[in-house]
Structure 1
Amino acid sequence: MHISRVDLNLFIVFEAIYSEGSLTRASLKMNLTQPAISHALGRLRQLFDDPLFERQGHVMVPTPLARSMIEPVRQSLRGFELTLNGAERFDPASSTRSFTLALRDVLEATMLPPLMAGIAAQAAGVGLNALQVGRRELESELAGGTLDAAIDVLLPLSPEIRHTQLVMDQTVVLARHGHPAVRGALDLDGYLRQEHILASSRRRGPGLEDVELSRLGLQRRVKLRCQHYYAACRVVSQTDLLLTMPERLARVVNQQFDNQMLPFPLPMPGLDVHLYWHANVDTDPANAWLRQRVIEAVGALPG
């Protein structure tokens, strides 16, 4: 079928239903009535001879065909958007655009303050949505334009995803002042004799420090596993537990607790942090401006 015979607005509706999982939310997103969304879905079903979405409770679940279509559709819509916007010069001073940046929650405390200060200095009307995206969805969301950029560790992504290293962080160990076994220094034997906190958003699995220890046939005792470094720092300040974490984040989160900060007593690879964006926005002035603000914000980080 030739493209001239297809209403391309139908694919915008398709993407909205897929993203929202609901006809009602899709209608709100597109500022259309629900009957209009239902009518568009009916035309799509007829066009592809497939239901595309099937209701399961309150959720519209995509069929296998819809799942196979979503990435090409998102990339095509993104291409149209960039073509239209490419004719316009991006002026930060007058722009009211809101960018979407994916980053892990452990990076928010260090990255966002200098980034927002840099944005405010040049673009008072520009906003930022910072959120966490699963690593499996990162590439597709960058390709589809639901993400403008992402900050994460080095990931095995396709050549369509551009990236540049932002920072190499080191690992430190925190212990409370007055800890009976830690007085300004900590060797590997002393580290292994203590009990530890592992801060992780995952329910199970080792930390990077545990992986390095296991290479030597060593294991530490994790007494507490919690979700956030702030809570872990507070526990450290009131117990004899040790916490191993990235240095730059420790300098921010540990300020009010003033725990001892010691080198990790084992050679360990630095923690690579990279900035990611899709090839289709490589030359987009707005995206390039955002990437430059991120790079400048990293340069302002402590340590």
Structure 2
Amino acid sequence: MDLSRIDLNLLVVLEAIYTEGGLTRAGERLNVTQPAVSHALGRLRNLLGDPLFVREGHGMVPTPFTRNLIGPLRQALRAMELTLNEAKRFDPGVSAQRFTLGCRDALELRVLPRLMYGLSESAPELEIATVSFRRRDIEADLFSGQLDLVTDSLLPRSRNIRHVHINTDPLVVMARKDHPALADGLDLEAYLEQRHILVSSRRTGQGMEDFELARGGLQRKVSLRCQHFFAASRVVRETDLLLTIPGRLAGLLNIDDAYALVPFPLDMPPQDVYLCWHANVDNDPANYWLRQQIIAVLEAV
């Protein structure tokens, strides 16, 4: 294929349709009309000799050709974007760049309030999106630019992933005030006799506290599995269920002193959290600037 025949803007349109799943949303992302996106897609179909997308319901499903193309295409677009960014100084005061952060529920509650308060003054046009992520996809998502940064409790193993330690937080147990199991303190035996809430974004699998218990041949009784600590804390307030939770997050949720907080009754290392990014943005001024903002926020809370 002779690149001189292809308008590079058409490739940007293809990537937008793939990411947004439809022509209208792709147009909104690119600030062009839906007919303009449709026209660009028609030109690409003729040039590449493939339908590229097939309409299914209200969305557009990529063909096998497009699925094979999208990874290298994103890498090329990302490299071009970084090259252009490096040619100019990043100015947060006027930039309207969008950053996507892979972030768990616990860190969202700690990071976002102070981060957005600071950005409202120093970078009012920036857009921040926090999204869920799968650990097995972290390297690919960071490499392709689907994610700009990730916060995770496991140290990344790939040499392509840069990281910095940003948080250490021991676990505590949250219970409603006057919970009978806490009358004489909460030892391991009493902890295991109670019923518990497990917070996880995954559909199945154990929490880190369960792994630690299992090392000693122990197992707790989980009555509720939910996705968010805030929802879990509201259940704790109304029931006798216990919630094992990072200590600093528990403090944020206990602003009205509605809960009893006691140490997790098993000796285990505190939870370490890392901020991760791909090596290809190590020197990107925009990514570096956002990393510094997040580190500063976590040092303050």
TM-score by length of 1: 0.88
Closer/same/farther in 2, CA of residues 231 and 33 from structure 1, 3 Å limit: closer
2 CA distance for matches of 1:41 and 1:280? 30
The 2-side partners of 1:120 and 1:31 are apart by 24
Change (3 A) 1:45 1:147: same
Q: State the 1:98 CA deviation.
A: 4.2
Question: CA contact under 8 A between 2:100 and 2:128: conserved in structure 1?
Answer: yes
Equivalent-residue separation in structure 2 for 1:99 and 1:292 (angstroms): 14
What is the 5 A alignment of 1:34-183? Answer: 34-120=34-120, 123-135=122-134, 136-154=136-154, 156=156, 158-183=158-183
Cα deviation for residue 110 of structure 1 reads 0.8
Q: Give, as a single letter, the amino acid of the residue that structure 1 aligns with 2:242.
A: L
Paired position in structure 1 for 2:8: 8
Q: Which aligned pairs between 1:176-195 and structure 2 lie closer than 5 A?
A: 176-183=176-183, 185-195=185-195
Deviations 1:173-197 (Å, cap 9, x if unpaired)?
A: 1223322221362211111112222
1:269 to 2:272 alignment: no
**Whole-angstrom distance in 1 between the partners of 2:28 and 2:116:** 29
2:286 aligned partner, one-letter code: A
1:253, CA displacement in angstroms? 1.0
C-alpha deviation, 1:156, in angstroms:
4.8
Residue 181 of structure 1: SS of its match in structure 2? helix
Structure 1 residue 146 displacement after superposition: 4.1
Counterpart for residue 247 of structure 1: 247
How large is the RMSD of aligned CA atoms in angstroms?
2.4
What residue is the counterpart of 1:294 in the other structure?
Answer: 294
Change (3 A) 1:234 1:34: closer
Q: Is the 8 A contact 1:171 1:245 kept in 2?
A: yes
Q: 1:107 to 1:5 in 2, by over 3 A?
A: same
Counterpart contact for 1:103–1:130, Cα < 8 Å: no
2:21–2:59 contact (8 Å) kept in structure 1: yes
8 Å Cα contact 2:156/2:163 also seen in 1: no
1:197 paired with 2:218, answer no
Give the aligned residue type for 1:133: S
CA–CA distance in 2 between the matches of 1:214 and 1:275?
A: 28
Kindly provide the amino acid, as one letter, of the partner of residue 129 in structure 2.
A
Conserved in 1, the CA contact under 8 Å of 2:177 and 2:260? yes
- Aligned residue pairs total 300
Q: Which residue of 1 aligns with 2:22?
A: 22
> Is the CA contact (8 Å cut-off) linking 1:139 and 1:157 kept in structure 2?
no
Consecutive unaligned residues in structure 2, runs of 5 or more:
none
Q: 1:157 to 1:50 in 2, by over 3 A?
A: farther
Q: 1:92 to 1:8 in 2, by over 3 A?
A: closer
Contact 2:96 2:127 in 1 (8 A): no
Q: How far is 1:153 from its partner? A: 2.4
Distance 1:76 1:157, change over 3 A: farther
* Residues 1:231 and 1:240: Cα distance change in structure 2 (over 3 Å): same
Aligned match of 1:260: 260
What is the identity, as a one-letter code, of the residue corresponding to 2:169?
Answer: D
What does the per-residue CA deviation read over 1:75-110, in whole Å, with 9 as the maximum and x for residues that have no partner? 211121222222221233444444332312222111
Q: Please report how far the alpha carbon of residue 227 of structure 1 lies from its aligned counterpart in structure 2 after TM superposition.
A: 3.0
Aligned residue in 2 for 1:208: 208
Paired AA for residue 130 in structure 1:
A
Letter in 1 for 2:142: L
Return the offset for 1:53: 1.3
Name the amino acid aligned to 2:172: V
**Residue by residue, what CA displacement relative to the aligned partner does 1:28-63 show, whole Å, maximum 9, x if unpaired?**
332334343333323323333322212222221112
Query: Which one is further off, 30-39 or 182-191?
Result: 30-39
Partners of 2:119 and 2:128 in 1: CA distance: 13
Inter-partner Cα distance in structure 1 for 2:228 and 2:28? 34
Cα distance in 2 for partners of 1:28, 1:175 equals 46
- Contact persistence 2:21–2:60 (CA under 8 A): yes
Q: Structure 2 length as normaliser, TM-score?
A: 0.89
Question: Structure 1 regions of 5+ residues with no counterpart?
Answer: none
Identity over the aligned pairs, expressed in percent?
57
Cα distance in 2 for partners of 1:202, 1:33 equals 38
